[in-house]
A and B are shown apart, each in its own frame.
Chain A
Amino acid sequence: MRPAVATAVLGVALAVAAPTTWVLTRPAATAGAPVQQSLGAPSSPEAASAEPGDLFTVTARPAAPATAEQRPVPVRLTVPERGVDAVIDAVGVQPDGQMTLPADVDRVGWYRFGPEPGADGSAVIAGHVDDRVQGLGAMAPLREAEVGDEIVVTGSAGTATRWRVVSRELIQKQALPLERLFAREGPPRLTLITCGGPFLPEIGSYRDNVVVVAEPLP
């Protein structure tokens, strides 16, 4: 009789404790300040414009066609605390208008039409969280990023920019503040994006994006 009671009690305890522990130990959906807040206030283009009516400070420059200046591009992303270490490809947009991501889930993509890391605005680096054939991607640990995690982005010239995570948020794809995430004005920010949240088998993708925003470290 005693062993039977013990088995029943332990069994119930296990049945309840396993999922409870799982729920309690998984990372929270958000960490730090809301992403929108960390990206800085949207800048007002009118406020930046010069005083109207200032007729006498006109400067003129040669208008001959000039070759585009080369700017440094980021080539490697590391988040030591999370074990992220990935090569960065410069990417653009797909025909459907979505940001292009490297097909190789071990690589991540930098949105080359936006700012480079360290320039004004939000530099976006994104990657696949996983792939049916390749398994987990380089960005998979992103959903465990915590405030204070350090991020290092190495540039093509060998120089590195260092960043500190200030926000992590799970945002439904339809509600993504795209204009803010891809802002080309405002304080320098590094924005890392991958997929997360519930997987929707009917459309073969995730419902949400994991968005991590970091501020520059001196």
Chain B
Amino acid sequence: MSLIRTSLRATGAVGAVGALVLLATPATAADTATVSILHGVPATPVDVYANGERLIDDFQPGTLTDPQQLPAGSYDLALYPADAPDASGAPLLSANGVTVPAGANVTVVAHLTADGKPALTPFVNDTSAVPAGQARATVRHTAAAPAVDVRAGGAVVVPGLENPKEASLTVPAGTVSADVVLAGTSTVAIGPADLTLSEGTTTIVYAWGSQEAGFKLAVQTISGGHSAPAGVPGGTAGLMDDSSLPLPVAALSLAGLIAAGAGVLRLARSRG
């Protein structure tokens, strides 16, 4: 695991993006990376440009792209208003030199910071295998809100999560009722919502939005992290034992031996 520090340059009238940390996962594909993009800035449809070329047209808030295989490397990303004809004007938001390491699975999130400014944050998704029967649940705070607690079934599972941080848990697969409260309170900001944590997946839940536009949840599911069970048990009685002769067969064989013995004995006596 190598640590790559990427600095994103903020341009235009809005947007200040700080230094971001990309954590490269062990390379599986030699020179490509898997990249998804989530739009979490309320009420602002955009066009997304990568290295000057339009990547997504009319990208709506609350939508997520299908994962794309992209060559690993450095990308200059820029978001323009959806009605802009091209990338010639001033972008709403841009991030230059976003490093996408080979083999990594990355989600780039356009979202609001805690104090309501647009930002682009790349998250590296942990797609490593979970034990059979389990799922990985990852929560990411990308909403214009202070620290929150994430609760499942009413109990706090992730305390004090701040924008733009994340936390991961490996849990038994199933459906949980989750909500988001302001940290240390029981003031519900989002939810409760039923979340399906499918076995062998990484399910990433984003809290996004703002007080004015409303807080919402977005869900990204990455499959392929499943493991096989450790084995298959199957019997405790030995009724189908393959290693020894069944009793009736052994008894028959023994009876034959006794008869032969008796015959030989009689033969010997009659001679003697």
Interface residues of A, Cβ cutoff 8 Å to B: 1, 3-19, 22, 45-46, 49-56, 58-68, 92-93, 96-99, 101, 111, 113, 124, 126-132, 135-137, 139-140, 143, 170, 173, 176, 178-179, 181-182, 184, 193-199, 201, 204-206, 208-209
Given A5-B263, A195-B233, also A45-B224 (CB < 8 A): yes
List residues of chain A with CB within 8 A of the CB of B158.
Answer: none
Q: Is the CB of B235 within 8 A of A11?
A: no
Assuming A11-B260, A60-B56, A101-B232, is B196 touching A68 (CB within 8 A)?
A: yes
B64 beta carbon closer than 8 Å to chain A: yes
Q: Is the CB of A65 within 8 A of B217?
A: yes
Is there contact, CB below 8 Å, between A63 and B259? Answer: no
Q: Contact at A11–B224, with CB atoms within 8 Å?
A: no
| Residues A93 and B132 in contact in the complex (CB < 8 Å), given A15-B260, A54-B68, A63-B206 | yes
**Contact, CB under 8 Å: B64 / A11:** no
Tell me, yes or no, whether B219 is within 8 Å of chain A by CB. yes
A65-B249 contact, Cβ under 8 Å, with A182-B228, A209-B234: no
Contact with A along B29-66 (1 / 0, CB 8 A): 10110000111000000000010011110011011111
**Chain B: which residue is nearest A177 at the CB level?**
B228
Which residues of B are found within 8 Å of A143, using beta-carbon distances? 240
Given A52-B69, A60-B39: A97 touches B256 (CB 8 Å cut-off): no
A6 and B263 within 8 A (CB)? yes
CB atoms of B240 and A67 under 8 A apart: no
Bound-state CA distance A56–B47 (Å) is 12
A98 CB, nearest partner CB in chain B, Å? 5
- Please tell me which one of the listed residues A9, A65, A92 contacts residue B219 in the complex, with CB atoms under 8 A apart: A65
Contact partner, A127, options B60, B226, B234, Cβ 8 Å: B234
Q: Which residue of chain A lies nearest to B268 when distances are taken between CB atoms in the complex?
A: A4
Residues of B within 8 A of A132 (CB): 236-237
Which B residue's beta carbon lies closest to that of A20?
B253
List chain B residues, Cβ under 8 A from A12.
256-257, 260
B226 CB, nearest partner CB in chain A, Å:
7
A49 proximity list for chain B (CB < 8 A): 29, 32, 69
In the complex, chain B residues whose CB is within 8 Å of the CB of A1: 267, 270
B216 & A64 in contact (Cβ 8 Å cutoff): yes
A-B contact count (CB 8 A): 266
Q: Closest approach, in angstroms, between the C-beta of A51 and any C-beta of chain B?
A: 7
Query: A173 to B234, alpha carbons, bound, how many Å?
Result: 11
Of B220, B240, B267, the contact of A195 (CB 8 Å cutoff): B240
Tell me whether B173 is interfacial, beta carbon within 8 Å: yes
| Chain A residues in 8 Å Cβ range of B233 | 98-99, 101, 128, 195, 205
What are 19 pairs between A and B in contact, CB < 8 Å?
A: A7-B266, A8-B263, A11-B255, A12-B256, A22-B249, A49-B29, A52-B69, A64-B216, A65-B205, A67-B194, A97-B133, A97-B229, A113-B173, A184-B226, A193-B234, A194-B234, A196-B234, A198-B242, A199-B238
Majority SS of interface residues in chain B? Answer: mixed
> How far does the alpha carbon of A194 sit from the alpha carbon of B131 in the complex, in Å?
22
The range of chain B's interface size is 35 or more
**B208-232 CB contact bits vs A (8 Å, 1 = yes)?**
0000000011111000101011111
Neighbouring A residues of B12 by C-beta, 8 Å: none
Instruction: Say yes or no for B3: interface residue by CB 8 A criterion.
Output: no
Any chain A CB within 8 A of the CB of B19? Answer: no
Tell me whether B232 and A18 are in contact (CB under 8 A).
no
In the complex, chain A residues whose CB is within 8 Å of the CB of B228 = 178-179, 181-182
Instruction: Scan residues 154-201 of chain B and give those whose CB is less than 8 A from a CB of chain A.
Output: 173, 175, 193-196, 198-200
Chain B residues lying within 8 Å of A60, measured Cβ to Cβ, are 37, 39, 56, 59-60, 63-66
> Which residues in A have their C-beta under 8 angstroms from that of B88?
none
Which of B53, B230, B266 is packed against the most chain A CB atoms within 10 Å? B230
Question: Measured between alpha carbons, how far is A7 from B267 in the docked complex, in Å?
Answer: 10
Q: A49-B69, A178-B228 are in contact. List 11 more A-B contacts (CB 8 A).
A: A14-B260, A19-B250, A63-B64, A64-B217, A93-B132, A97-B133, A99-B229, A99-B233, A128-B236, A131-B236, A143-B240
Point out the residues of chain B lying under 8 angstroms from A199, CB to CB.
235, 238, 240-243
B68–A129 touching, CB < 8 Å: no
